[in-house]
Structures are given as structure tokens and as C-alpha cells.
């Protein structure tokens, strides 16, 4: 099925069940293992999520901001200005700037209330059982960018534009296998 996806793939976003204890434990163990054994040399654009229930927008910003080799952002757009303004900030500072950016907030809210949505957006502050993250390719490495993580991006190892989608698909399959009974809350977009 992956062969039906046009290439090159710029990024992959994943929605997964955030209330699954086995999945949460698996992801925590991945981060602990990386922190103990691996120092990353690349630096993807990464920010912490400081706005509740904005993980989809954060994942979109992670995806867009790390794909400048494949497309250009519209000059003067809110996202282009945000990325430029925070390019040299740390993850926490970027998250705070994102939370305070009125143009980003307005765009986020416009998307939530759009008549083109296929589903209704939950009310702000709702308890949600799903979470978004993004997978990007930076300097030949696959990174998982999850703004809810208080650590750094998770480096999943080498890849290329030609193998990026299949490499990420394998990572997602391993994550699904951690809690195979919890299959109703998954979605992937490339």
C-alpha cells in the first residue's frame, strides 16, 4: 500500500491512543534508552507543546518546519514568521512563543471551526484519548517529534528520502504491536 503514496514524502503525522499504558511505557523506555546511549548531532526544529489540545497543530508545525528542502513557505505567512522568529530558540522557548502567537492561535482556531472538517473538534480543555506526533527526516535521520515530551526529539536512526516512508511505517507497526488490542484510535498521514 505504501507504493500508492506519492513521493517524496515530506513528513508523516501519527495519531495514536494516548491513554494506552503499554504504549506510553514503550515510548518512555525508548526515550530513556536514547538518553543513555545516543547523542544526536542533527537538530530538527522542535518545540514543546504549551497549549492544551493543540498537539495536531504542533505536529503540523514540526512537519512543515523540518521540510524546507522540499518546499518553500509563503513569504510573510504566520508559520514562516514564527519559524524565522524562533529559529535560534530552544524547545521550551519555542513552545512559549507558540502559545503567545496570536496569528498562529487564530489560524489554529480557524482550522478547528472550519466547515471543511470531517469531524467536530473537541472543546478546548477536553480530555482526549488521542495524541499527534510527527516523523521527519533531518540530515539523513528519522526523528519522532512529540511536543508533549519534556525531552528532546527521538532519533530513530538513518533513512533517506527513498526509504523514509517505509522506515516510518515500520516504526509505527512496532508501536501498534505494543498494544494490538487498542487499534481503533490510530491514523497516519504522509
Say if residues 169 and 4 touch (Cβ distance below 8 Å): no
- CA nearest to 161, candidates 134, 137, 143, 188: 137
Grid coordinates given for 148: 508533549
- CA nearest to 178, candidates 16, 44, 66: 16
Pairing relation of β-strands 154-158 and 187-189? unpaired
Single out the catalytic residue among 55, 62, 108, 156: 55
Single out the catalytic residue among 62, 67, 108, 131: 131
Q: Catalytic residue at 131?
A: yes
Exposure of 40 by Cβ count < 10 A (0-12 exposed, 13-18 middle, 19+ buried)?
A: middle
- CA nearest to 57, candidates 116, 23, 103: 103
Q: Catalytic residue at 111?
A: no
Which sequence positions are flagged as catalytic? 55, 131
Amino acid at each position: 500500500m505504501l507504493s500508492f503514496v506519492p513521493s517524496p514524502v515530506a513528513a508523516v503525522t501519527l495519531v495514536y491512543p494516548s491513554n494506552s499504558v503499554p504504549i506510553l511505557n514503550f515510548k518512555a523506555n525508548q526515550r530513556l534508552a536514547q538518553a543513555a546511549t545516543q547523542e544526536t548531532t542533527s537538530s530538527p526544529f522542535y518545540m514543546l507543546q504549551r497549549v492544551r489540545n493543540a498537539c495536531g497543530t504542533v505536529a503540523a508545525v514540526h512537519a512543515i518546519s523540518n521540510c524546507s528542502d522540499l518546499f518553500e513557505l509563503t513569504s510573510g505567512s504566520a508559520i514562516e514568521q514564527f519559524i524565522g522568529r524562533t529559529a535560534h530558540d530552544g524547545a521550551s522557548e519555542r513552545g512559549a512563543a507558540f502559545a503567545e502567537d496570536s496569528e498562529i492561535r487564530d489560524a489554529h482556531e480557524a482550522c478547528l471551526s472550519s466547515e471543511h472538517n470531517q469531524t467536530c473538534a473537541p472543546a478546548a480543555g477536553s480530555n482526549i484519548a488521542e495524541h499527534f506526533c510527527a516523523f521527519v527526516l533531518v540530515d539523513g535521520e528519522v526523528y519522532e517529534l512529540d511536543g508533549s515530551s519534556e525531552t528532546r526529539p527521538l532519533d530513530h536512526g538513518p533513512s533517506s528520502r527513498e526509504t523514509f516512508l517505509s522506515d516510518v511505517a515500520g516504526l509505527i507497526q512496532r508501536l501498534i504491536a505494543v498494544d494490538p488490542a487498542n487499534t481503533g484510535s490510530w491514523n497516519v498521514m504522509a
